[in-house]
Structure 1
Amino acid sequence: MPGQKPDQKGQPPVARAALFGLCPRCGAQTLFDGPVKFASHCRVCALDYSTYNVGDGPAAFLTLIIGALLIVAALTLDAVARPPFWVHILLWVPLTAAAVVYGLRVGKAALLAIEHQRQAAEGRKLDGPHD
């Protein structure tokens, strides 16, 4: 019936699954097998993560957003405090790396959780004539 949600017992909300790398089915923290690499499957409920097609869409978009925000922050710091160049290097290089890696984890996990909750799959051709 329209408007009814499917049974999502045990499934974490998308935001929590994305922030903490939780399995979209059971909620265990088993989604990642490296900094931004998905595990092959959930070690608790055996959900196969390789069936989801998250792709690299979030990577470029997220990196551009994080880069723009950090450039604005660096220029603001430079205009206000005028620190030496080495301070910029010590501050912004690790902050950029950490923001991109964590942002990719959150973005990819959110897309996988949304795919799972909406049971998204590749398009299929319908049988029979259609206009």
Structure 2
Amino acid sequence: MDAQSHQPSQFGGQQQAERPLGRSIKRGMLGRCPSCGTGKLFRAFLKPVDQCAVCGEEIHHHRADDLPAYLVIFVVGHVLMAGYVSSALMFDMSSWIHLAIWAPLAVLAALLTIQPIKGGVIGLQWAYRMHGFGDHDDEATDPGRGGPLA
């Protein structure tokens, strides 16, 4: 069985609509609603809309708070470190010149990537029906054990 044909098991109830992961993440990274792909996902730089103006999908319950920042640090850090090491090996520059080059690039790269990455994380949560994006409320379950909170 290949990964393309795998469908999650469902017992009883209505068949859930398919939510392709790649398409949902791409729509989120483009700043569009992961459901319809038309409505705006952000009302401000990092503030998502409460509800899509086109399809009515509720987005207010997302939990894309810390993961986007960690992903930005990971991606930007690896890319800039490769650039820093390459330039240090090719050119003989003093430390303050490296600092003058790489510090502004780090800030600029982080600011340019944080919104698309946050949108992608919201798209991922929507595709996997996490944190209220499904048909059930998962607030009353213990995430470590999957059972009800005592």
TM-score (norm 2): 0.62
Alpha-carbon separation, structure 1, partners of 2:123 and 2:114: 14
Question: Share of identical aligned residues, percent?
Answer: 17
Partner of 1:107: 117
2:128 equivalent among 118, 124, 130: 118
Deviation at 1:25, TM superposition (A): 1.2
Deviation at 1:119, TM superposition (A): 1.7
Partner of 1:62: 72
Distance 1:74 1:102, change over 3 A: same
Partner of 2:90: 80
Structure 2 unaligned residues grouped into runs of 5+: 1-5, 9-14, 132-137, 142-146
Deviation at 1:23, TM superposition (A): 0.3
CA RMSD of aligned residues (A): 3.3
Alpha-carbon separation, structure 2, partners of 1:74 and 1:12: 32
Alpha-carbon separation, structure 2, partners of 1:65 and 1:114: 18
Alpha-carbon separation, structure 2, partners of 1:12 and 1:62: 19
Deviation at 1:123, TM superposition (A): 5.7
Partner of 1:48: 58
Distance 1:106 1:124, change over 3 A: same
1:97 is the counterpart of 2:97: no
CA contact (8 A) 1:26 1:45 kept: yes
Distance 1:53 1:98, change over 3 A: same
Partner of 1:3: 7
CA contact (8 A) 2:25 2:34 kept: no
**Structure number having the greater helix percentage:** 1
Number of equivalences: 124
Alpha-carbon separation, structure 2, partners of 1:71 and 1:64: 11
SS across alignment from 2:85: helix
CA contact (8 A) 1:17 1:110 kept: yes
CA contact (8 A) 2:25 2:120 kept: yes
